[in-house]
Amino acid sequence: MGVKSTGQVTAEGTNAAGDEIETTNAREADADSTIAELVSRARAAMGIFEHYDQERVDEVVQAVAWAIIKRENAEELARLAVEDTCLGKYEDKVDKNRRKSLGTLQDLLDPTARSVGVIEVDKEKGITEIAKPVGVVAAVTPSTNPAATPANKTMMALKGRNAIIIAPSPKGASTCKLLLQYIHEEMSKIGAPLDLVQALPRVDKELAHELMKQADFVTVTGSGNNVHAGQTSGTPNACVGAGNVVSVVDSTAEIEEAARKIRTSKTFDYGTSCSNDNSVVVESPVHEEMVEALKREGGYLCDDEERALLGEALWPGGGKRSSETLCKAPSVIAEVAGLENPEAREASFFMVEGKGVGEEDLFSGEKLSVVLTVYRAADFDEALDLTRRILDYVGRGHSCGLHTTSEANVERIGQEMDVCRLLINQIQVFGNGGSFDNGLGFTLSMGGGSWAGNNIDENLSYRHFLNITRVSRTIPEVVPTEDELLGSYWSRYGR
């Protein structure tokens, strides 16, 4: 039709700028009506769901869990995810689909995890807590975990008797569609309303943003842009920040065990998780020993020339992170980077020396790959300083780890580091999002608190999908005296 960006009148006599405005308005109107229909169906389903008792609600949660824990489903979802996103490792995605969902189900079926009606009575304070839904949940999910994350959020949202509408990433849409099919198959068995769990009919930025506006609650796991959109949507939200895990290895650590755990974390699903180790800061007295232990675990230490090649493969021209090496097998990374050493071609992961923090050394940031940056610190003071600087660059508030046998160092890093999760002698990629051998809740979405600009500073859980009515009854009055409250102040500073 001869549309021109200048806004000039074309041969057909149509203003091109006007056409663009009309097209934009049409897209917005379509997004508004499409989302309104989804939300309306979700609310109707909730009208049925709100009458379910705790046992029935938990049965719905079990149905969703089984939809992804069932081995053949987990395997097919993993296969499709790797095929369509080209991210991660099939075997690890199968394990993630099953393990994370099983752990989340364990948390949600805990007898203390009440989410229907009266959930707590404090007779001493005269407070009775009654749980109610937050409403229709908009859940934006990433391509790195296109099955596990939406399943995880769906289980939590349904635990609170909410409905959920999933906005998948473009590459993860096919996996999400299949997951939804599996979920609906299980929900049909128990007669639950299928519209409790929906997904956008197509991947579309306008639809996703409109969903965030019309929903009652938003949760976003994924890119910084999506998180920002969720947090500025005007809708109450629980969005999560970027990870860039740093693990400190002090001079008292069990070196072989630390190396094994760091390798496991670094290589799992080819680094798709925000909780995999991106950097390790090693105290100088055990630095060489640690590097050798990491080599025995399959790590390959790049020399300066190879480091430069690897950097170019990750950030061509020092710019945007390349999709060619994003969450790819080490053999693929070696090929793209042109690492000719046979040992590099057979490595399980790559190590590079940390030469700075921030823009001066991009290896200090989150890499989403099997690349580990290794820093040397003269002592524990410098190790903490380096860790703090790295997290201030990327990942502040998220998490870090410490491998040690010193309780004094545990106490100190806990007091000094601004993170919401500090894992001691653990595999970061498993432990941050909850593990069967720690007390953190199972999740794939971890808040970083105000340090990360998030509303939550803990692992996302079903509690974030509840509104609580607190019924207050009178109790015997207790009025303190001024002396009881101010006596210590008066004794020091006078009245």
CB crowding 144-154: b at 16 or more within 10 Å, else e: bbbbbbbbbbb
**Is position 419 within any domain?**
yes
Angle 170-173-174 from CA coordinates, rounded to 5°: 130
Point out the residues that are catalytic. Answer: 274
Query: What three-state secondary structure class fits 397?
Result: strand
43 within domain boundaries: yes
- The confidence score (pLDDT) of residue 127 equals 98
Q: Which two tokens stand for residue 44?
A: 């109707």
Domain identity same for 263 and 367: yes
| Together in a domain, 317 and 212 | no
Per-residue pLDDT of the chain (495 residues; tens, 9 = 90+): 333 333 333 333 334 455 555 566 777 789 999 999 999 999 999 999 999 999 999 999 999 999 999 999 999 999 999 999 999 999 999 999 999 999 999 999 999 999 999 999 999 999 999 999 999 999 999 999 999 999 999 999 999 999 999 999 999 999 999 999 999 999 999 999 999 999 999 999 999 999 999 999 999 998 888 999 999 999 999 999 889 999 999 999 999 999 999 999 999 999 999 999 999 999 999 999 999 999 999 999 999 999 999 999 999 998 999 999 999 999 999 999 999 999 999 999 999 999 999 999 999 999 999 999 999 999 999 999 999 999 999 999 999 999 999 999 999 999 999 999 999 999 999 999 999 999 999 999 999 999 999 999 999 999 999 999 999 999 999 999 999 999 999 999 999
Tokens in use for 191? 């007669």
Provide the pLDDT for residue 222.
86
- Bridge-based pairing state of the strands 299-301 and 217-220: unpaired
Q: Is 443 within a domain?
A: no
CATH of the domain at 383: 3.40.309.10
Give the predicted TM-score (pTM) of the model.
0.91
Let me know whether 158 and 282 are in one domain.
no
- Residue range(s) defining the domain that contains residue 70: 24-240+461-471
pLDDT of residue 29: 81
Tokens of 19: 């056409």
CATH number at residue 213: 3.40.605.10
Plot region of 188 (φ>0 → left; ψ -120 to 50 → alpha; else → beta) = alpha
Distance, in Å, from the CA atom of 240 to the CA atom of 459, rounded to the nearest integer, reads: 9
Judge if 144 and 228 occupy the same domain. yes
305 and 254 fall within a common domain: yes
Q: Which of 140, 185, 179, 137 is nearest to 38 (CA)?
A: 137
